[in-house]
């Protein structure tokens, strides 16, 4: 039976890993064998280097690709891999891997928003116009599974998410764009970015509803791993976390029933300088990949079960020039470590 005194969580974007020759988006040929082999070898090496107990992955196209990665990693036999049954290269999902002695039950993939999800408002005052957003599903299904690092401890609920990217939606497929192409072509970037932002915000709100239902009125430990495509102080993250108060004193006095705490912020409070980034776009370094934890993992919480030991970031490869050709991910890998130390 598992009796761990420490547990580690990690999040890794696999950068559209699919089997060689299978299409990726509009690229009908996908990866060639040489680049695929490089991707598998590099990712397997990083699995060994990071050495996490629980993994959350994004941008998996094919279940066999995940198996190939863990065959390249020496501890293959130590993990249970999680990808949807029959997932064979036709769509993108979140995936996972967990050391076999701590996985509880079967994983599930959540595609649909909660049944009563609504983004519909007549406005807060006479100057505010009506708004209605029609969206009912995640762009990438959210993976949910449970782990139990200690046989005499509580089961931890883990969610792996990949929210809509900041890249502008391609509106030139839309009929309204085609009907007035001369006009809308001047505004396609702004309108496309707005649509992406609205979609990502809606996904964050839907996931927040799922998390609230899981956490409210109980002491269930929850962890969210993922490429959330926004920084830790963004509106997206504020929706997901509930913007909790981080106490800098008063051990065992804080915590909030449905709040989530970013390990990036927890690490910043322990660091002399913040150099935390997981993605580079047009030379701008930003944090898009996160580990969010409930009050049961927050040091200053009266409900603490696991104490934060530290967060590490593996991002040296982001400075390489050719991620595709070299088989690298275009995101950093984030890992957080916790020690079993319940509040007195």
Q: Are 80 and 100 in contact (CB under 8 A)?
A: yes
Span 55-80, average pLDDT: 92
- The reported pLDDT for the residue numbered 98 is 97
Query: Where residue 164 falls among pLDDT bands split at 50, 70, 90?
Result: very high
Q: What is the DSSP string of 219-272?
A: ---EEEEEE-SS-TTSHHHHHHH------SS-TTSB--TT--EEHHHHHHTT-S
Q: Are 137 and 201 in contact (CB under 8 A)?
A: no
Residue 41: count of CB within 10 angstroms of its CB: 15
The CA-to-CA distance between both ends of the chain, in Å, stands at: 25
Query: Where residue 284 falls among pLDDT bands split at 50, 70, 90?
Result: confident
- The reported pLDDT for the residue numbered 282 is 78
Question: Among candidates 316, 318, 244, which has minimal Cα distance to 281?
Answer: 318
- The reported pLDDT for the residue numbered 171 is 95
- The reported pLDDT for the residue numbered 248 is 65
Three-class DSSP category at 213: helix
Write out the H or E segment, with its range, that includes residue 70.
helix 63-72
Q: Give me the percent of the chain exceeding a pLDDT of 90.
A: 78
Q: Is the pLDDT of residue 8 over 90?
A: yes
181-216 confidence digits (pLDDT tens): 999 999 999 999 999 999 999 999 999 999 999 999
Q: Which residues contact 85 (CB under 8 A, 6 or more apart)?
A: none
C-alpha distances out from residue 48 to 31, 76, 226, 328, 336, Å: 24, 10, 20, 15, 15
Residue 120 backbone zone (phi > 0: left; psi -120 to 50: alpha; other: beta): beta
Three-class DSSP category at 79: strand
Q: Is the pLDDT of residue 252 over 70?
A: no
- Report the alpha-carbon distance of residue 144 to residue 339 in Å, rounded: 23
* 33-50 and 63-72 helices, crossing angle to 10°: 60
- The reported pLDDT for the residue numbered 321 is 78
Q: Is the pLDDT of residue 232 over 60?
A: yes
Residue 95: count of CB within 10 angstroms of its CB: 27
- The reported pLDDT for the residue numbered 249 is 61
Q: Look up the CATH number of domain 6-340.
A: 3.60.10.10
Residue 111: count of CB within 10 angstroms of its CB: 12
Partners of residue 290 on adjacent β-strands: 226
94-146 confidence digits (pLDDT tens): 999 999 999 999 999 999 999 999 999 998 888 999 999 999 999 999 999 99
Q: Are 15 and 3 in contact (CB under 8 A)?
A: no
- DSSP assigned state of 86: T
Residue 124, classified by CB atoms within 10 Å of its CB into exposed (0-12), middle (13-18) or buried (19+), is exposed
- The reported pLDDT for the residue numbered 280 is 82
Backbone angles phi, psi at 178, to 5 degrees: -65, -35
C-alpha distances out from residue 340 to 61, 99, 194, Å: 35, 17, 43
Q: Are 94 and 143 in contact (CB under 8 A)?
A: yes
**pTM for the model:** 0.95
Mean pLDDT of the chain: 93
- The reported pLDDT for the residue numbered 75 is 66
- The reported pLDDT for the residue numbered 76 is 63
- The reported pLDDT for the residue numbered 158 is 98
Question: In the chain, how long is the greatest CA-to-CA distance?
Answer: 67
CA dihedral 146→151→152→157, nearest 10 degrees, is -10
- Mode of pairing for the β-strands spanning 88-99 and 333-340: unpaired
């Amino acid at each position: 039976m598992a009796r761990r005194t420490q547990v580690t969580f990690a999040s890794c974007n696999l950068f559209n890993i699919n089997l060689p020759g299978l299409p990726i988006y509009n690229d009908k040929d996908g990866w060639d064998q040489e680049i695929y082999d490089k991707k598998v070898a590099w990712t397997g090496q990083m699995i060994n280097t990071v050495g996490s107990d629980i993994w959350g992955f994004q941008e998996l196209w094919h279940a066999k690709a995940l198996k190939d990665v863990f065959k390249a990693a020496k501890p293959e036999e130590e993990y249970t891999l999680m990808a949807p049954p029959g997932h064979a290269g036709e769509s993108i999902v979140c995936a996972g891997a967990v050391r076999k002695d701590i996985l509880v039950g079967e994983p599930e993939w959540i595609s649909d928003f909660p049944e009563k999800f609504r983004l519909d408002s007549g406005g807060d005052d006479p100057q505010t116009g009506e708004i209605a957003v029609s969206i009912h599903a995640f762009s990438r299904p959210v993976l949910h599974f449970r782990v139990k690092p200690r046989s005499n401890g509580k089961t931890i609920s883990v969610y792996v998410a990949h929210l809509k990217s900041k890249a502008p939606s391609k509106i030139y497929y839309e009929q309204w764009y085609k009907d007035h192409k001369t006009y809308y072509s001047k505004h396609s970037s702004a309108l496309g970015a707005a649509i992406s932002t609205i979609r990502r915000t809606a996904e964050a709100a839907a996931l927040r509803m799922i998390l609230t239902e899981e956490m409210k009125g109980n002491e269930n430990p929850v962890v969210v791993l993922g490429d959330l495509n926004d920084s830790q102080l963004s509106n997206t993250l504020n929706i997901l976390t509930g913007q909790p108060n981080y106490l800098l004193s008063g051990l065992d006095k804080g915590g909030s029933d449905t709040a989530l705490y970013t390990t990036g912020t927890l690490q910043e409070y322990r660091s002399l300088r913040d150099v935390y980034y997981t993605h580079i776009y047009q030379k701008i370094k930003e944090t898009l990949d996160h580990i969010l934890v409930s009050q049961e993992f927050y040091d200053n919480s009266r409900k603490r079960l696991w104490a934060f030991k530290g967060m590490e970031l593996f991002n040296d490869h982001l400075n390489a020039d050719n991620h595709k050709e070299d088989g690298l991910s275009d995101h950093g890998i984030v890992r957080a470590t916790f020690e079993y130390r319940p509040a007195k």
